[in-house]
Amino acid sequence: MSIHPSAVVEAGANLGQNVNVGPGAYIEKGATIGDGCVIGPHAVIYGHSTLGTGCKVHAHAVIGDAPQDLAFKDQETFVRIGNDCVLREGVTIHRGTKEGTATVMGNGCFLMANSHLGHNVVMGNQVILANGVLLAGYVEIGDRVFVSGNAAIHQFVRVGRLAMVGGESAINKDVPPFCTIVSASLNGIGGLNLVGMRRAGFTPVERKAVKDAFKLLYRSGLNVSQAVERMKEQLTGGPVDEFVQFIEQSKRGLCVNRWQGEGEEPAPE
């Protein structure tokens, strides 16, 4: 273990083996830092925060501060971060707002500089947030989602697995799994993340089924309920079931199609 002389690690903070704490960092009592973590200069880890093993917290990141919620009255709430996550300069992650609740991040996530997780965000594994991304309270992000720079996602919105959100977009509707959001748009679906699906091991048959489901939802002229029923009749199994389940569980409504081209939808590299 290596703790710089200028760092402050309060009694009651729990540090694992081979933790490195940089100059000016502050770790409050009650925080738990897993084995092999690196806490950068002037980073702040408040109590009620748990970091898994192998995490890297860069300079001036702040983890576990009180939520930006006027209803919060210093209840006992938490931040829980998985293993092997990278939090770059200036990242802020706020703890839950209601008693006993938590803001949760999975394993292998990469948050670029100045990105923000509001209270009670739930994030899956291998999520990437580019610089300046803002996630409001109660946002849910599925596994392997990529959110581009300066995108803003409204509270309670869900973003499905393997979706890609374009830079400077604003989202206040749910983003179905495997879909892309057009940059600098409001709730603008642009197509499917075909490259992401290939990299995730989807077979050609599975990719074709998702493409057919997408066309039913966004290009058939059917309403959402009709499109879902058609999917259930024609395309059951595999990732289409995940697509259908996500739609049926939506409470905010879905993002809308903004791509007006013909033939194959564009797929980002």
Q: Is a pLDDT exceeding 50 seen at residue 142? A: yes
pLDDT band at 258 (very low <50, low <70, confident <90, very high): confident
Q: Rounded to an integer, what distance in angstroms lies between the CA atom of residue 129 and that of residue 113?
A: 9
Bridging pattern class, strands 14-15 and 32-33: parallel
Q: Is a pLDDT exceeding 60 seen at residue 91? A: yes
Task: Please tell me whether residues 133 and 227 are part of one structural domain.
Answer: no
Q: What is the pLDDT of residue 76?
A: 97
User: Is 182 within 8 Å of 199 (Cβ atoms)?
Assistant: no
Task: Please tell me whether residues 16 and 114 are part of one structural domain.
Answer: yes
* Residue 18 domain flag: yes
Q: Sheet holding 32-33: strands in order across?
A: 14-15, 32-33, 49-51, 78-81, 102-105, 122-123, 140-141, 158-159
Q: Is a pLDDT exceeding 70 seen at residue 257? A: yes
Q: What is the pLDDT of residue 259?
A: 59
* Residue 177 domain flag: no
Task: Please tell me whether residues 9 and 134 are part of one structural domain.
Answer: yes
H/E stretch holding 194: helix 194-199
Last residue of a domain, which of 138, 160, 188?
Answer: 138
Q: What is the pLDDT of residue 264?
A: 41
pLDDT for 96-109, tens place per residue?
Answer: 999 999 999 999 99
Q: What is the mean pLDDT of residues 32-45?
A: 98
Q: What is the mean pLDDT of residues 183-192?
A: 94
* Residue 265 domain flag: no
Last residue of a domain, which of 90, 121, 138?
Answer: 138
* Residue 209 domain flag: yes
Q: Is a pLDDT exceeding 60 seen at residue 266? A: no
Last residue of a domain, which of 113, 138, 163?
Answer: 138
Q: What is the pLDDT of residue 1?
A: 85
Task: Please tell me whether residues 108 and 25 are part of one structural domain.
Answer: yes
Q: What is the mean pLDDT of residues 175-180?
A: 98
CATH number of the domain encompassing residue 56: 2.160.10.10
Q: What is the mean pLDDT of residues 55-59?
A: 98
CATH number of the domain encompassing residue 232: 1.20.1180.10
R_g of the chain computed on alpha carbons: 20
Q: What is the pLDDT of residue 262?
A: 35
Task: Please tell me whether residues 116 and 26 are part of one structural domain.
Answer: yes
**Nearest in space to 183 (alpha carbons), one of 230, 217, 155, 146:** 146
* Residue 224 domain flag: yes
Q: Is a pLDDT exceeding 90 seen at residue 171? A: yes
pLDDT band at 260 (very low <50, low <70, confident <90, very high): very low
Q: What is the mean pLDDT of residues 134-158?
A: 98
Q: In which domain, by residue range, is 233 found?
A: 197-257
Instruction: Report how many domains make up the chain.
Output: 2
Q: Is a pLDDT exceeding 80 seen at residue 205? A: yes
* Residue 152 domain flag: no
